[in-house]
Amino acid sequence: MPEEAKEVWKQVDQYFVDALIAPSERFDFALEVNRKAELPAIDVTSLQGKFLEVLVRGTSSKRILEIGTLGGYSTLWLARAIPDDGIVMTLELEPHHAQIAKQNLEAAGFADRIDLRIGPAADTLAALVKEHAAAFDFIFIDADKASYPEYLQWCLKLSRPGTLIFADNVVRDGKVIDGGHRDPNIQGVRRFTEMVSAEPRLSATALQTVAGKGYDGFIIAVVLH
Ligand code: SAH
Ligand code: DHB
Ligand code: MG
């Protein structure tokens, strides 16, 4: 991507952040904590986090599932969007990431609406299905891209008609269109896309995004029946 384009994307992001997200609601403190803890800076942007908040509020979602917590930055936006009796269940493989996330979520006063589960997400999802967990209203898939196909299968079992399934990072700088790409993450998002396409219970679309962090995009699907 040309550097000039990236610079414009960054400035436009900043323009809308300043216009639409008050400094007091930005959760910047968590990004600072994450940086100091040397977590990878692959959190959603603040505008994307707010987009999740708007979707969750707009659907009156109360039971949220997040796959891939990192330092809890996206989790903060999801947690803010639900009522006091709502819950964000968030799944994270790395104990260190989870520990930082816990700290950030507690600092924001959201501890009592978070259920953070440490371990491979596929195992936690299998356990949830086994114990007949109640359906989630909104699902945010954002962990290892190679496992998106597997996560989709579990998520369908944890959904009800009307559940929204949001899968982050499916464009990857445009690499998604390269069917011969060796990266298992690219293969994962391609396979995920094929599965969504073939699944009669889902109606879906994809949107490309540009942002301060670069060129990517997401798939959003609604469970029909
Ligand atoms: N949602 C976060 C970013 C998540 S980054 C935000 O926007 O703020 C992806 C996270 O998925 C990383 O923390 C990584 O450790 C975690 N992850 C990778 N493989 C995983 C797995 N198999 N199960 C659960 N989490 C996993
Ligand atoms: C990566 C993961 C993410 O969830 C993201 O938003 C951006 C990048 C990555 O693994 O590179
Ligand atoms: Mg992501």
DSSP string of 15-78, one letter each residue: HHHHHHS-GGGS-HHHHHHHHHTT--S-SPPHHHHHHHHHHHHHTT--EEEEE--TTSHHHHHH
Residue 90 C-alpha to ligand 1 middle, in angstroms? 10
CB 44 within 8 A of CB 141: no
What's the pLDDT tens digit per position in 78-109? 999 999 999 999 999 999 999 999 999 999 99
Our answer on whether the CB atom of 68 is closer than 6 Å to any ligand 1 atom is yes
Question: What is the percentage of the chain residues whose pLDDT exceeds 70?
Answer: 100
Ligand 2 pocket, CB under 6 A: 42, 142, 168-169
Mean of the per-residue pLDDT values for the chain?
97
What's the pLDDT tens digit per position in 178-220? 999 999 999 999 999 999 999 999 999 999 999 878 999 999 9
DSSP 139: E
Residue 98 Cα distances to 37, 39, 81, 146, 170, angstroms: 12, 11, 21, 21, 24
Q: Give the ligand at the shortest distance from the Cα of 66.
A: 1
Does position 1 have pLDDT exceeding 80, yes or no?
A: no
Q: Give the ligand at the shortest distance from the Cα of 43.
A: 1
- How far is Cα 82 from Cα 72, in angstroms, rounded to an integer? 15
Helix (H) or strand (E) holding 207: strand 202-211
Residue 66 Cα distances to 61, 63, 217, angstroms: 13, 10, 17
What's the pLDDT tens digit per position in 13-37? 999 999 999 999 999 999 999 999 9
Residue 189 C-alpha to ligand 3 middle, in angstroms? 12
What domains, with CATH codes, occur in the chain?
3-223 (3.40.50.150)
- In this prediction, residue 2 has a pLDDT band, given cuts at 50, 70 and 90, of confident
pTM of the model: 0.98
Our answer on whether the CB atom of 216 is closer than 6 Å to any ligand 1 atom is no
Q: Is 38 left (phi over 0), alpha (psi -120 to 50) or beta?
A: left
